[in-house]
Each structure stands twice: as structure tokens, then as C-alpha cells.
Amino acid sequence: MISRPEGSLAQRKRQLVANELTEAALQLLARNGFDAVTIDEIVTAAGVSKRTFFRYFASKEDVVVQFLADMGTGIHAELAARPVEERPSVSLRHAVRVPLDACAGHSDRALRVVQLILRTPALHARFLERQAQWRDELTAELARRQGLDPDTDLYPRLAAGMALTAFDAVLHRWSGSDAAEDPAVLIDRAFAVIAPALDAVA
């Protein structure tokens, strides 16, 4: 009975420290550039030791990767929660809108981080790695929803790839406009192009 609250408290404490580290790192990285910021500067800004930093992250890249991981978790969770009978284009559009809506809701911070990722080769490479993982997760979920075999049917992977390509295109357009364009409008336009293919389930 007692272990649950203690575990929950410890988990909340870990999450709080991780959040503080992430926020401090992202602010420094976005302001000064990825290569110019050291881990010593990050831990000083966050008010923790270097040992504490390495308890949560293997490198400063991993701080940004966690930001990307949260994006992917939101996409997959939303797709899994959509009604099975819904058209794939609608389900996928709602799914990829989750991180875009989050970006729009915190546009100043999110814009700086997204621009940092897209303009820093090392971070962009990690972003592409993450998108490959998202594609695998979305492929499996689409196959489950459609009753298809992800190993033999082409549709799930193609559909997941199209949805993430639309997401990537919108993210580039939104960040390139310095958040002047509405990501919700952009994603609706992108899905208007790919919807016929997404809904043509073989």
C-alpha cells in the first residue's frame, strides 16, 4: 500500500528534474546554437551536477531526442485512440496534428527547438532516425486497424510514410515561416493531397 505513493513521488521527482534539465538545455541550445553549448553550461543553468545530467541523458543530443520521442508518442497514441471505422486519412491527420498543435500552443519555444533540429546536421540526423521508428510504429498500428499483415501488405508502410512525409513538410514550412503560417491549416492542405491514396485501402 505504501510503496505505490513512494514510487509515484519518486517518479514525479525524476520527471521534474528531467523537465528542468530539458528546459535549460533547450533554451541554451536554441539561443546559442548546438555546437556552442557545453554540458557544463547546461547543468549550471539547470542547477544540477554533471553526474545528475548523465543519469538522465547520455549526451546533449539526447536532450533533444527526448523532445522528439514525445512527438512520436503523441502521434502513435492518437492514432491508436481513433475509431477503427474512421477513414485512414482522417485518423492519420488527427494523429500527426498532435505535435503540431503542441508546437502552435508553445510557438516561441517550439519554433526555436524545431529550427535548431532542422538546421543542425547532427540533430536532423537523429530526427530522421526517430521518424523511422515512428513509421514502424504507425505501420504496425495501421496494419492492426485494417486487418493487414505489415510484412506482406504494402499499404500500412506506404500510408505511414505518406503521413509522416506530410508532417515533415509542414514542420519545415512552419519553421521556415518563423511560425507565421498556421500548422493546422498546412496539415489540412497536405492531407487534401494525399487523402485519396490513404483511403484507397487494397
Convert the pLDDT of each residue in 32-46 to its tens digit: 888 899 999 999 988
* 67 in the same domain as 97: yes
Buried b (16+ CB within 10 A) or exposed e, 82-99: beeeeebbebbbbbbbbb
Q: Within a 10 A sphere around the Cβ of 191, how many other Cβ atoms? A: 22
* 64 in the same domain as 53: no
Model confidence at 5: pLDDT above 50: no
* 123 in the same domain as 182: yes
The enclosing domain of 11 has a CATH number of 1.10.10.60
Q: In this predicted structure, which of 3-7, 9-13, 20-24 has the lowest mean pLDDT? A: 3-7
* 130 in the same domain as 111: yes
Question: Which pLDDT score, from 0 to 100, does residue 112 have?
Answer: 85
Among the candidates 57, 74, 90, a domain finishes at 57
* 24 in the same domain as 108: no
- Domain around 20: 1-57
pLDDT in tens, 77-123: 999 999 999 999 999 999 999 988 887 776 777 888 888 889 889 88
Which ranges in the chain belong to alpha helices (H)?
3-32, 39-46, 50-56, 60-81, 88-105, 107-119, 121-146, 155-176, 183-198
Q: Which amino acid makes up residue 164?
A: L
* 175 in the same domain as 137: yes
Among the candidates 14, 40, 57, a domain finishes at 57
Question: Which pLDDT score, from 0 to 100, does residue 54 have?
Answer: 93
* 161 in the same domain as 132: yes
Mean pLDDT, the chain, integer: 88
Q: Within a 10 A sphere around the Cβ of 138, how many other Cβ atoms? A: 25
Split into its structural domains, the chain has a count of: 2
Band of the pLDDT at 27, cuts 50, 70, 90? confident
pTM: 0.81
* 47 in the same domain as 65: no
Q: Which of 155, 137, 136 is nearest to 146 (CA)?
A: 155
The enclosing domain of 128 has a CATH number of 1.10.357.10
* 94 in the same domain as 31: no
* 111 in the same domain as 69: yes
* 74 in the same domain as 93: yes
Coil/strand/helix, residue 44:
helix
Q: Which three cell numbers stand for residue 14?
A: 525524476
Q: Which three cell numbers stand for residue 96?
A: 500527426
Among the candidates 57, 85, 100, a domain finishes at 57
Q: Are 40 and 54 in contact (CB under 8 A)?
A: no
* 149 in the same domain as 66: yes
Q: Within a 10 A sphere around the Cβ of 32, how many other Cβ atoms? A: 13
Q: Are 137 and 78 in contact (CB under 8 A)?
A: no
Q: Are 194 and 166 in contact (CB under 8 A)?
A: yes
